[in-house]
Amino acid sequence: MRLRKQNNPAYDIEREMAELEKGMTELGISFGRDTLEKFKTYLSVLHSYHGRVHLLSHRDYQRISRRHFLPCLVALPYVQNYGRICDIGSGAGFPSLPLKIFLPNTQLVIFEAQRKKADFLKHLLENLDLKAVEIVNGRAEEYSGEKFDLALLRAVGKIGKLARVLDALLKPGAEAIFFKSPGVEKEIEEARKALQKLNFRVSITKALTPLDRSPLAIVILHKS
């Protein structure tokens, strides 16, 4: 795909790429030219859809690396050893596709119920040339295929309401990772009965995003 600058005056791909490189270095992530080219393409495709499909807030198109790529990559150490992963309600491809760039051999299924967003994701994948990725234009709770080793969830709803969906999707011994704000303990307490009934254990890791130093909670559900 040939990259071109969009008509958005706030769009500065070189600044975005410089911030991404700085943030990945801060996270201790090794990367090469091919990785950077994929993220550059990702930025270009996102901007080409600006105004066509609601994928991000208007302001976030000026700070995709800070607000989306890098927060997703905070979880990279937690997703290294899983063969089959799903992403529920991915939208613009977050959190799974920034992670998939570093996990070329992982099988990934992305659930996206909205047709326009699913079509965007298919177009994005064609340009990123990522293998072993399936886009399911449908709801995760309607899926009846092979179960998963890991589920990823970012900005998709309450843990308690999603526990039963995850129970149906995950293999025994599998995990689910939620990207949450730091005050997630109250949400977990509200979900405690449902999680115990379904034999999920919970662990929380607090982190700061690169560059912005915004607090982030990585909540992991372990399925017994």
* pLDDT per position as a tens digit, 41-72: 999 999 999 999 999 998 999 999 999 999 99
In a domain, 28, yes or no: no
Task: Bin 91: left if φ > 0, else alpha if -120 < ψ < 50, else beta.
Answer: left
Arithmetic mean of pLDDT over the chain: 94
CB burial string 135-148: b at 16+ within 10 A, e below? bbbeebeebeeeeb
pLDDT of residue 153 exceeding 70, the answer is yes
- Calculate mean pLDDT across residues 74-101: 96
Q: How far apart are CA 202 and CA 175, in angstroms?
A: 10
In a domain, 190, yes or no: yes
Look at the chain and report how many structural domains it folds into: 1
Contacts of 187 (CB under 8 A, 6+ apart): 158, 159, 160, 180
Q: How far apart are CA 77 and CA 200, in angstroms?
A: 21
Peptide bond into 95 cis (omega under 30): yes
Domain of 105?
74-223
- Calculate mean pLDDT across residues 122-138: 96
Collapsing DSSP to helix, strand or coil, 150 comes out as strand
Residue 155 — pLDDT band, cuts 50, 70, 90?
A: confident
C-alpha distance from residue 26 to each of 40, 181, 218 (Å) = 19, 21, 18
Q: Is 23 exposed, middle or buried (0-12, 13-18, 19+ CB in 10 A)?
A: buried
CB burial string 181-193: b at 16+ within 10 A, e below? eeebeebbeebee
pLDDT at 169: 98
pLDDT of residue 4 exceeding 80, the answer is no
Number of H helices, E strands in the chain: 8, 7
In a domain, 217, yes or no: yes
In a domain, 53, yes or no: no
pLDDT at 39: 98
pLDDT of residue 6 exceeding 90, the answer is no
Digit-coded pLDDT (tens) for 9-36: 447 999 999 999 999 999 999 999 999 9
For residue 66 the two structure tokens come to 């800070």
- Calculate mean pLDDT across residues 201-219: 97
Contacts of 115 (CB under 8 A, 6+ apart): 137
In a domain, 91, yes or no: yes
For residue 136, give the CATH number of its domain. Answer: 3.40.50.150
In a domain, 198, yes or no: yes
pLDDT of residue 188 exceeding 60, the answer is yes
Asked if residues 222 and 203 have their Cβ atoms less than 8 Å apart, the reply is yes
In a domain, 11, yes or no: no
Contacts of 88 (CB under 8 A, 6+ apart): 111, 140, 151, 152, 153, 156, 162, 165
In a domain, 101, yes or no: yes
pLDDT at 5: 43
